Amino acid sequence: MESPKTVWAALASPRYLISSWPWRSYGYLFTSVPMGGLAIGVLIGLAALGAVLSPILIGILLLTAFPLVGAAIGRVERWRAGLMLLDGISSPHAKLPRTLSLRQRRTFRRREQASMRALGYSFVLGVLLWPLSALFAGISATVLGVSLAAPIIADGDEMGMGPWTLDTFWEGLLFLVLFTPPFYVVSSYLLGVIAGAQASLAKAMLGPREQELQRNLAELRRSRLDLVDAFETERVRIERHLHDGVQQRLVGLTMTLGLAELDLPEGDGRRLVVKAHAEAEAALADLRAAVRGIHPRVLVDHGLEAAVREVADRMPLPVTLQLSIPMRLPPPIEAAAYFVVSEALANVAKHAQAANCEVSGWVDRDRLVITVQDDGIGGARLGAGTGLTGLVTRLDALGGTLDVDSPPGGPTRLRMECPCRLGD
Amino acid sequence: MPTRRLSIVLAEDSLLLREGLASILDRAGHDVRDSVGDADTLLAVVRKDPPDVVITDVRMPPGHSDEGLRAAAVIRAELPVIGILVLSQYVADAYLSSLLETTSGGIGYLLKDRVGHVTEFLESLDRVAGGGMVVDPEVVRQLLARRRNDGPLAALTPRELEVLALMAEGRVNASIAEQLVVSEAAVRKHVGNIFAKLRLEDGLDRRVSAVLTYLRG
């Protein structure tokens, strides 16, 4: 039989009385005495300090130091509750990034709801729990100790136990045999229940709340998605800005230069204008390529298949396409997939020494899957200076993955997977 | 000088480019009847008094998406005799299908940069006005990059495909001959072979049909 993990499971077990659990209960109740004393001492001390220094300071302390003290006590108490609940109590506090300064951490911690709960628990511990523990565990331990020692005490002296008076060793032994076992049974269960109730109270007040966990998780995902979305919006804005601004002006310039060519007679002047015209056109072509790298228009207007086809057409090596993506996907997903393919193909052209390349894309149970495979020399790695590293982060925020399998000697196979919906 | 004076409606949201285009067309002796900045006004103006040719930008207010293309499709459906020249700062073959839904009437799809090559641009405009088809060399290049191993084009020789690609750009036989450094008679022979292999009936639209077959792959 599996040994119980909590005091409640232990209480239900027939082996409770011969297990370590009654003694754990004693341990838990007795250690709550110094903890409770410490808690109430520190809290009263702080309050008194504030009252002495200035009345306003109490208010400030209540808002700043108290929650932090509460959180610190909570931390010790969660550890102590491990006596009663072997799996312990996990922390309700949010994990903070390492980059935060100590000051920022403190500010965050004291505003956390969990810190306020821990402060509340500290008061309950300091005012109610430790006297209660001291009373029950103290009386119980004393009675148990005395009854175990009854034969010896009664042998030397007269001993009054409730209605009985014991004055010989044998009377003491009789008392030990008759009284101690039932007392041990009753007191052990009683203390187990009291200690268990305290540990459960600690868990309820110091542990993470279900909706808190859910909310934190949802918030985290949402904020990451927001970030991806913000990047996407920014790219659209930049593309629009280039389209409406510098591209228009360059097109206007080519028109003017074209007209100038018509008006000028053959000669050096005309040759220069023709050259300027060609340069303006080259600048436009460069700009178009740059815009394609920022936010390809065909992706917005015609979706992933058309955009991937266009990238494939620009490759210096033949690219076979096997695309079957029946619907339009949310823009951040289409963009991520597009840039994965475009980056992967660029890498194939630059490094793989491949003669052929195949891009496949399909939707499998609400997940978009894209593979890019070449017949090159292999040895490619994610993060080895490729532009794919940033795309891994981007995919991660969308709940997707990117894997590269590229043994030395080839072939290289890249596989991308991503949910077809945002927030999945 | 153009073969005839065309009445033209211009749709382009950038004032700079609208004026640049208008001045080029004016110089060539065409009549820029209306200049508008969005697709809705374009449709209203064209329905009220159909011009010979509509020159439209792809991306216009309010959505800045493909309003110009959609307006072009509506005009094609309602008034197929009007030639439509679509200009864009960016061209891709993915946009062709919405332009090629009907075979009748002139259609053109060009990068805006081409306007600066004034003589060629005006030739393209004339071709569109005459019911011909003009496709930007960049789009043709994209189409060529894609190997086609099936469909009706599989029967054509590489040389015939080359000729067909140049036809798609809107070139006449003389221009194709010059480009490929062959005689015009040789080009005529290739064109005849193309018509035969694609099983195109005799008629004025054969050239357009051949190009359409090519563009649709």
Residue span of the structural domain in which A38 resides: 7-208
Q: What is the mean pLDDT of residues B123-129?
A: 91
Q: Looking at the partner chain, which of A240, A258, A280 has a beta carbon nearest the beta carbon of B64?
A: A240
Judge if pTM exceeds 0.80. no
- Regarding whether A303 and A280 lie in a shared domain, the answer is no
Quote the DSSP letter at residue B112.
Answer: G
Residue of A nearest to B26 (CA): A259
pLDDT attached to residue A376: 87
Domain tally, chain A: 3
Residue of A nearest to B18 (CA): A252
Q: Beta-carbon neighbour count of residue B161 at 10 Å? A: 16
- Regarding whether A54 and A19 lie in a shared domain, the answer is yes
Two tokens, residue A35: 């903890």
pLDDT attached to residue B2: 46
Q: Looking at the partner chain, which of A258, A310, A313 has a beta carbon nearest the beta carbon of B117?
A: A258
* Cβ contacts of A372 within 8 Å, gap of 6 or more: A340, A341, A344, A345, A348, A357, A358, A359, A413, A414
A88 vs A55, more confident? A88
Q: Looking at the partner chain, which of A240, A251, A256 has a beta carbon nearest the beta carbon of B113?
A: A251
pLDDT attached to residue A32: 92
Looking at the complex, report in whole angstroms how far the Cα of residue B68 sits from the nearest Cα belonging to chain A.
Answer: 13
b/e per residue B121-155 (b: at least 16 CB within 10 A):
bbbbbbbbbebbbbbbbbbbebbbbeeeeeeebee
- Read off the CATH number of the domain in which A404 is found: 3.30.565.10
Element (H, E) at A112: none
* C-alpha dihedral, B125 to B133 to A313 to A391, nearest 10°: 60
pLDDT attached to residue B6: 93
pLDDT attached to residue A249: 93
The band of A229, judged by pLDDT with boundaries at 50, 70 and 90, is confident
The model's pLDDT over A290-324, given as tens digits with 9 standing for 90+, comes to: 988 888 888 888 899 989 988 888 888 888 889 99
- Regarding whether A258 and A245 lie in a shared domain, the answer is yes
The band of B103, judged by pLDDT with boundaries at 50, 70 and 90, is low
The third-level CATH classification (topology) of the domain covering B7-136 is Rossmann fold (3.40.50)
Q: Looking at the partner chain, which of A257, A302, A313 has a beta carbon nearest the beta carbon of B116?
A: A257
- Regarding whether A26 and A59 lie in a shared domain, the answer is yes
B84 vs A156, more confident? B84
DSSP string, B42-92: HHHHHHHS--SEEEEESS-TTTTSSHHHHHHHHHHHH-TTSEEEEEESS--
Distance CA A309, CA A328 (A): 15
**Percent with pLDDT over 90 in chain B:** 37
Chain B residue numbers touching A277 (CB-CB < 8 A)? 116
- Regarding whether A98 and A185 lie in a shared domain, the answer is yes
- Regarding whether A327 and A290 lie in a shared domain, the answer is no
The alpha carbons of chain A give a radius of gyration, in whole angstroms, of 38
Residue A307 maps to a domain: yes
- Regarding whether A283 and A314 lie in a shared domain, the answer is no
Q: Looking at the partner chain, which of A256, A301, A318 has a beta carbon nearest the beta carbon of B65?
A: A301
Looking at the complex, report in whole angstroms how far the Cα of residue B46 sits from the nearest Cα belonging to chain A.
Answer: 25
Query: Which of A 215-274 lie inside 8 A of B, CB atoms?
Result: 240, 243-244, 247-249, 251-252, 254-259, 261-262
Distance CA A26, CA A28 (A): 5
- Regarding whether A331 and A250 lie in a shared domain, the answer is no
Choosing among 1.10.10.10, 3.40.50.300, 2.40.50.180, 1.10.760.10, the CATH entry for B147-216 is 1.10.10.10
B158 vs A129, more confident? A129
Element (H, E) at B107: strand B107-111
Distance CA B68, CA B37 (A): 10
Two tokens, residue B3: 């073969």
Nearest to A341 by CA among A306, A367, A366, A365: A306
pLDDT attached to residue B1: 46
Cis? peptide before B80, omega within 30° of 0: no
Q: Which of A248, A274, A294 is the last residue of a domain?
A: A294
- Regarding whether A317 and A290 lie in a shared domain, the answer is no
Two tokens, residue A398: 């969308």
Break chain B into its structural domains and give their ranges. 7-136, 147-216
- Regarding whether A184 and A60 lie in a shared domain, the answer is yes
Two tokens, residue A12: 């239900």
b/e per residue A275-304 (b: at least 16 CB within 10 A):
ebbeebbeebeebbeebbeebbbbbbbbbb
Q: Which of A294, A319, A345 is the last residue of a domain?
A: A294
The model's pLDDT over A179-202, given as tens digits with 9 standing for 90+, comes to: 888 889 999 999 999 999 999 999
Q: Beta-carbon neighbour count of residue A399 at 10 Å? A: 18
Two tokens, residue B217: 């792959």
B27 to chain A, any CB pair closer than 8 A? The answer is: yes
Distance CA A100, CA A104 (A): 6
The angle at the Cα of B67, spanning B64 to B70, to the nearest 5 degrees, equals: 160
Q: What is the mean pLDDT of residues A124-144?
A: 90
pLDDT attached to residue B3: 63
Q: Which 3 state secondary structure label does DSSP give A152?
A: helix
Q: What is the mean pLDDT of residues A109-130?
A: 88
The model's pLDDT over B26-71, given as tens digits with 9 standing for 90+, comes to: 999 999 999 999 999 999 999 999 999 999 999 888 888 888 988 9
The answer, yes or no, to whether residue A287 has pLDDT greater than 90, is: yes
- Regarding whether A164 and A72 lie in a shared domain, the answer is yes
CB A228 within 8 A of CB A398: yes
Residue of A nearest to B141 (CA): A313
Distance CA A152, CA A170 (A): 9
Residue A2 maps to a domain: no
CB B107 within 8 A of CB B79: no
pLDDT attached to residue B144: 66
Nearest to A171 by CA among A183, A153, A184: A153
Q: Do the chains contact at B118 and A288, CB–CB below 8 Å? A: no
Q: Do domains B7-136 and B147-216 have the same CATH topology?
A: no
CB B80 within 8 A of CB B110: no
* Cβ contacts of B8 within 8 Å, gap of 6 or more: B25, B30, B31, B32, B33, B51, B52, B53, B54, B55
Chain A residue numbers touching B55 (CB-CB < 8 A)? none
Q: Which of A274, A294, A314 is the last residue of a domain?
A: A294
* C-alpha dihedral, B36 to B41 to B46 to B48, nearest 10°: -120
Highest-confidence range of A111-125, A138-152, B32-46, B103-117, by mean pLDDT?
A: B32-46
Q: Looking at the partner chain, which of A249, A288, A306 has a beta carbon nearest the beta carbon of B94?
A: A306
B172 vs B87, more confident? B87
> Pairing state of beta strands A367-374 and A413-419?
antiparallel
Q: Do the chains contact at A249 and B16, CB–CB below 8 Å? A: yes
For residue A195, the one-letter residue type is A
- Regarding whether A94 and A238 lie in a shared domain, the answer is no
The model's pLDDT over A322-377, given as tens digits with 9 standing for 90+, comes to: 999 988 999 889 999 999 999 999 888 888 888 889 999 999 888 999 999 999 88
The band of A104, judged by pLDDT with boundaries at 50, 70 and 90, is confident
Query: Which of B 57-86 lie inside 8 A of A, CB atoms?
Result: 59, 64-66
The model's pLDDT over B134-193, given as tens digits with 9 standing for 90+, comes to: 888 887 777 666 655 456 677 788 888 888 888 877 788 888 898 889 998 898 888 888
B23 to chain A, any CB pair closer than 8 A? The answer is: yes
Q: Do the chains contact at A313 and B113, CB–CB below 8 Å? A: no
Beta bridge partners of B36: B11
Query: Which of A 302-321 lie inside 8 A of B, CB atoms?
Result: 302, 306-307, 309-310, 313-314, 318
Two tokens, residue A329: 């996907």
Chain B residue numbers touching A251 (CB-CB < 8 A)? 17, 20, 89, 112-113, 115-116
